[in-house]
Amino acid sequence: MNEKKIFALLHQLWGDVSHPEFYWELGALVLILVFSRWLSLWLNKAKAAGAAGAPADSTVAGLRAFGEGGLKRIGFPLLAVVLVFSLRQTLVAFGWGHLSLLYLAAPLLMTWVLVRILVYVLRCVFSHGGFLTSFERLITVTIWSCLVIELSGMSRFVIDALEEVTFSVGKQKFDLWMLLSGTVTIGGTLLVALWIASLVEKRLMAARDMDGNLREVLGRAAKAALSIVALLISLSLVGIDMTALSVFSGALAVGLGFGLQKIASNYVSGFIILLDRSIRLGNLVAVDDATSGTITQITTRYTVLRTLNGVEVIIPNEHLVSNMVRNLSFSDTRVRVPVKVQVAYSTDLEQAMQLMQEAACQHPRVLVDPEPGVLLTEFADSGINLELGLWVADPEVGTGGVRSDVSLAIWKSFKENGIEIPFPQREVRILDKPVGDCQPLNA
């Protein structure tokens, strides 16, 4: 049904207002809308009550959820279209005249069904897009209203009225219709670009043989590049002079150079980290003496480090690029854990070293290759210092537990074998004092 037929139908509808049949049709249409709304709500509640018996397979469950979500949104207008068509055919069969209201309601309701399907598909494509999810109803009503205006033949009148509202920005002249159409064009182009970017990102994430950092970089670069290209194309379609945009980009570059240099530096540093792969997800790093933990997230502006006590530290990427960072699992996840013990000078050192090595080998997290080793590090004031060096392959779990368990095993083993762990002692002697001057202790 084209625009001329719709416009002629509106004239016929205006003429049918004076006939009694029009009001009967209007009452029947209201009853159809109310009944369709009630029936769609009842069906949605019945589906929600039976959702417990959904299939276990995730793919089947996803397809079922997609279909049920679509039916939930188009159930009301679709039921109304079916009932309106049925009523119209019944009235035509009985020779009922002046059916312009039903002829007009049918295409409007069908348009509503198509618009809701389109918006729902867009929302499913952009599953993480909160904008479409929050404003789905508003977007549906807006698109449907525009289609109604176009089908009713009033679009030319509305466009002329909007074009009369003009204003100037520098040498560029704008009107209200240009702004509205430009907003729709830019929004639609960006949606297409983001949809293509999401497809590219999914394909990249599915490539398990590619490095994780490289996948992140390519996905974000594709999204940024497609967004910029879509913006430039949409601005050209709207009719905005691109020379004004070049002046704006120059001013933006100056602003980035002076006021936003820290933010820009963080973004550039983020891409450097992702590209050179010096820091990866899951690496155990130490930024300084007090901050160390596992890398859990790398963004283009900051990196999230989760410490061993559960605290998440947000570190600007510039700090990681311009400062020294100790990556304990850069090329090898094995880390040496020292355990220091002091024994008395009368101790059999070879036996003590053997007991320390055996205590380390009994722990399940201690590696056999390289095997634990004991070194004599110092002849101290109170005893001889020994250092047990053991290796673990999972430093991200923490090394404090291993050190504690091995130290306790060494203490038990030393106690069983009579090896003394000395403590500081001081002996005070008084020299060159006559014996006769000494006083009894009980004096």
pLDDT given for residue 386 in this prediction: 92
Per-residue pLDDT, 438: 53
| End residue of a domain, out of 93, 120, 153 | 153
CA angle, corner 45, sides to 43 and 48, nearest 5? Answer: 110
Residues 46 and 142 in one domain: yes
Q: Are residues 19 and 38 in the same domain?
A: yes
SS3 state of residue 92 = helix
Residue 60 has a pLDDT of: 46
**Radius of gyration in angstroms for the set of CA atoms belonging to the chain, rounded to a whole number:** 39
State which residues of the chain have pLDDT below 70: 1-18, 46-72, 97-98, 100, 121-137, 139, 147-155, 168-172, 174, 208-214, 238-260, 425, 432-443
Look at residue 431 and tell me if it is in a domain: no
The residue to which tokens 């490539």 are assigned = 207
User: Considering the domain boundaries, does residue 211 fall inside one?
Assistant: no
* Alpha-carbon span 430 to 425, nearest angstrom: 17
Asked if residue 412 and residue 291 are part of one domain, the reply reads: no
328 close to 279: Cβ distance less than 8 angstroms = no
- Residue 427: the pLDDT is 74
Q: Domain of 410?
A: 335-416
> Given this model, what pLDDT does residue 411 score?
92
Give CA separation, 270 vs 228, 295, 307, in Å.
20, 14, 21
Compute φ and ψ for 369, nearest 5 degrees.
-130, 110
Whether 367 maps to a domain, the answer reads: yes
Instruction: Provide CB contacts within 8 A for 365, sequence distance 6+.
Output: 392, 393, 394, 397, 402
On whether both 8 and 148 belong to a single domain, the answer is: yes
Same structural domain, 313 and 342: no
Give domain status of residue 164, yes or no. Answer: no
Retrieve residue 90's tokens.
């019944």
Q: Are residues 315 and 356 in the same domain?
A: no
In a domain, 17, yes or no: yes
For residue 65, CA distances in Å to 54, 70, 71, 126, 127 come to 9, 9, 10, 16, 13
Shared-domain flag, residues 286 and 368: no
Q: Is there a single domain that holds both residue 285 and residue 408?
A: no
Beta bridge partners of 327: 285
- 217 in Cβ contact with 280 (< 8 Å): no
CATH number at residue 352: 3.30.70.100
Side chain identity, residue 106? A
Residue that finishes a domain, picked among 153, 180, 200: 153
pLDDT at 56: 46
Half-sphere exposure at residue 31, Cβ-oriented, CA atoms within 13 angstroms: 8
Task: Let me know whether 299 and 358 are in one domain.
Answer: no
**Does any domain span residue 361?**
yes
- Domain final residue, candidates 153, 175, 202: 153
DSSP for 239-299, written as a single string: T--HHHHHHHHHHHHHHHHHTSHHHHHHHHHHHHHHHH-SS-TT-EEESSSS-EEEEEEE-
Same domain? 72 vs 138 = yes
387 and 307 share one domain: no
| In contact, 297 and 281? CB cutoff 8 Å | yes
CA angle, residues 421, 424, 428, in degrees to nearest 5:
135
The pLDDT value recorded for residue 118 is 73
89 assigned to some structural domain: yes
Q: How many domains does the chain have?
A: 3
Q: What is the CATH number of the domain that holds 306?
A: 2.30.30.60
**323 and 341 together in one domain:** no
Alpha carbon distance 58, 293 (integer Å): 35
CA dist 56 and 47 (Å) reads: 17
35: Cβ–Cβ under 8 A, 6 or more apart, which residues? 79, 83
User: Helix axis angle, 100-125 relative to 176-206, nearest 10°?
Assistant: 40
272 Cβ partners below 8 Å, 6+ apart?
Answer: 317, 321
213 found inside a domain: no
